[in-house]
Structure 1
Amino acid sequence: MTELAEPHIEVDTANDHDSVISDDISAFTTSITSSILDYPVENGRRYHAFRAGVYCLPNDELEQDRLDLSHALMTKGIGNKLFLAPIDTDKMHRVLDIGTGTGIWSMAMGDEYPNAQILGNDLSAIQPPWVPPNVKFEIDDVECPWVYEAPFDFIFCRYMAACIKDWPTLVRSVHDNLTPGGWAEFQDFDLQYYSEDGSLKEGSHTLTWINTLLEAARKTGREPSPGPRLEGWVRDAGFTNVTHQRFRFPIGPWAKDPHLKEVGLYNIQQVLSGLEAFSLRLFCHVLGWPKDEVLVLLSKVRNELKNPNLHAQFDFHVVYGQKKQAE
């Protein structure tokens, strides 16, 4: 049974937020010297070169900034924690971070657990060269056969929405590459926007955009909202002690609860800064929309999302489980 971390979100009726939220995030750029850095550019955004086309979002500096902001959102959203699994960290020697992105989670883990060896993998070599001494990065496609020489004590998989074609196989690979008694944790979204008070209405630009985005992602064969299905995949792979928690993420600082208000502020910042990144390849390449039409729609979505009377939200799911102990 899914544990809901927050009940109905109460709206802060005293909220005097002026609805003007900056779309700009401070510049952050990094790279690893590699022959796979010959990145293609589409519609003014840069994309990964290794296994080109597998991942639908860009990997340029603007997107790296958004990914780091998303890390802050997700860690804050689950209680200012890097993970929730009840791991005995004294026995956590080898950790794998699947789809590490900018490497920010791996680096935080390396700082927090200096006795653990942290390995992060990704399709893009966008991780910084200066990292904690116990952290390493590699370029890899997690949907290809895994060839690690030794199993891991903890495998972490977060924010792989619209990235994976075969989730059951991926989850089995995670299970097979754990030590007996090791833990895995999956954190991901259900990106279907909704409101509890009816403020997000059918026919709105925001619902038109997100529904079209989800449709386009599914046309690529990669599920954009894996969160609700994670528990089933984890149980089917043979994990035990499985726990599933669902967190509500407001879009905007409209919640009365101070924690959720802050989560909402982080969330709307990353959504607004990511509208083009989420949309351009899927709308233009997959659905055939002209770029100008996409940008017009995104401008309307941006204006709606900044309206403090819109109380939209989506859900974030955390599922963790343990590989059986050796008998």
Structure 2
Amino acid sequence: MDRLDFHHTYMVKILGRKLFLAPIPSETTHRILDIGTGTGIWAIEAADVFPNAEILGNDLSAIQPSWVPPNVKFEIDDVESSWVNEQKFDFIFCRYMAGSIVDWPKLMKQIYANLKPGGWVEFQDYDINYVSEDGTLTEEHHTDRWSKLLIEACRKIGRDPCIGPLLEGWVKDTGFVDVVHQKFKMPIGPWAKDPHYKEIGMMNLIQLMDGLEAFSLRTFCGVHGWTREEVLVLLAEVRKELKAGSFHAHTAM
């Protein structure tokens, strides 16, 4: 859970210390849904921004705190199943669900059907392809091999971890209007000269190193059929390259 909360802080930092970018009027916003709420930290912080709104966070896992602001509640739910809501929402927020959703167009339709007229939805998600604009990341790097194998494994099980560039098309196809697509670079490591991107790069490296073994073992062993020992040998080399700053690369949101 600590990693999820750190990741929240990281995402907010990328956006210039903002929880969201949509032009949501506080005074006329009464119902908000946070899809895949995780530890509930976004919903809890949003409660301060929207004190008069009912904020619902849903997730498959019950890892949310028991003490929350009075206008926040959580429920265990699978957003890919049929939605049953008595009232529609003014704002639906969906962040960091790449690799978790199988049928994105279906989810878009469910969101569209559960928004009030004039309501907003905001997606914040990734393209985890490693991009090296100066060519310092090459096929000789273990990190390059690891990242490509990770993406391949996720796609084999129908959970694309690079849906960021696809979201705009799905949103428009669903019927949403006033669509805005903003792209943010996320350096891997503190190599950038700009202080803002240097800090983002360090935070990205921290959260990547923290989760590296868990999601690599799950995908490489479960999908590619590697042994645990084979995965750990590769990860040892990946960690060396990441710590040494052997290349300049970024992912995107």
- By the TM > 0.5 criterion, same fold? yes
Q: CA deviation at 1:222?
A: 1.2
* Structure 2 unaligned spans of 5+: none
- Do structure 1's residue 286 and structure 2's residue 203 form an aligned pair? no
Name 2:14's counterpart in structure 1.
77
Name the structure 2 match of 1:217.
Answer: 154
* C-alpha contact (below 8 Å) 1:195/1:312 kept by paired residues: yes
1:136-285 matches, within 5 Å, as 136-285=73-222
User: TM-score, normalization: structure 2?
Assistant: 0.98
- Aligned-pair distance for 1:277? 2.2
Distance in 2 separating the partners of 1:81 and 1:223: 26
> 1:305 aligned to 225, 242, 251, which one?
242
Deviation at 1:254, TM superposition (A): 1.1
SS in 1 for 2:133: coil
Q: SS at 1:95's partner residue?
A: strand
1:306 counterpart SS class: helix
Which AA in structure 1 matches 2:4? L
3-state SS of 2:178 partner: strand
Q: Retained in 1: the 8 A contact 2:190–2:201?
A: yes
Between Structure 1 and Structure 2, the one with more helix by share is 2
Quote the offset at 1:89 in angstroms: 1.8
Measured after TM superposition, the shift of residue 265 of structure 1 is 1.1
Contact 2:150 2:216 in 1 (8 A): yes
| Contact 2:35/2:95 (8 A) holds in 1 | yes
The CA deviation string for residues 275-317 of structure 1, in whole angstroms up to 9 with x for no partner, is 012211111111111011111111111110112342121001x
Q: Relative contact order (C-alpha < 8 Å, sep 6+): which is higher?
A: 1
Structure 1 runs (4+) deviating above 3 angstroms are none
- The 1-side partners of 2:57 and 2:173 are apart by 25
Cα separation, 2, equivalents of 1:301 and 1:101: 28
**Residue aligned with 1:303, SS:** helix
Question: Would the aligned equivalents of 2:190 and 2:198 in 1 still touch at CA under 8 Å?
Answer: yes
* One-letter amino acid of the structure 2 residue matched with residue 282 of structure 1: T
Number of aligned residue pairs: give it. Answer: 253
Letter in 1 for 2:244: N
Shift of 1:90: 1.2
CA–CA separation in structure 1 for the residues paired with 2:31 and 2:8: 21
What letter matches 1:273 in structure 2? D
The answer on whether the counterparts of 1:72 and 1:266 sit within 8 Å (CA) in structure 2 is no
Alignment pair present for 1:112 and 2:49: yes
Q: Which residue of 2 aligns with 1:133?
A: 70
Whole-Å separation in 2 of the counterparts to 1:132 and 1:183 = 23
What CA distance in whole angstroms lies between the structure 2 residues aligned with 1:182 and 1:215? Answer: 36
8 Å Cα contact 1:102-1:126 kept in structure 2: yes
SS at match of 1:299: helix
State how far apart, in whole Å, the 1-side matches of 2:88 and 2:67 are: 26
The alignment's TM-score, normalised by the length of structure 1, stands at 0.76
1:137 is paired with a residue whose SS is strand
Contact preservation (8 Å) 1:157, 1:186: yes
Identity, in percent, stands at 62
Is the CA contact (8 Å cut-off) linking 2:131 and 2:250 kept in structure 1? yes
In 2, the alpha carbon distance for the partners of 1:172 and 1:76 equals: 30
Q: Aligned-residue CA RMSD in angstroms?
A: 0.9
* CA deviations over 1:140-193 (Å, ceiling 9, x no partner): 000000001100000000000111110001011111100000000001000001
* 1:111 Cα deviation from its structure 2 partner: 2.4
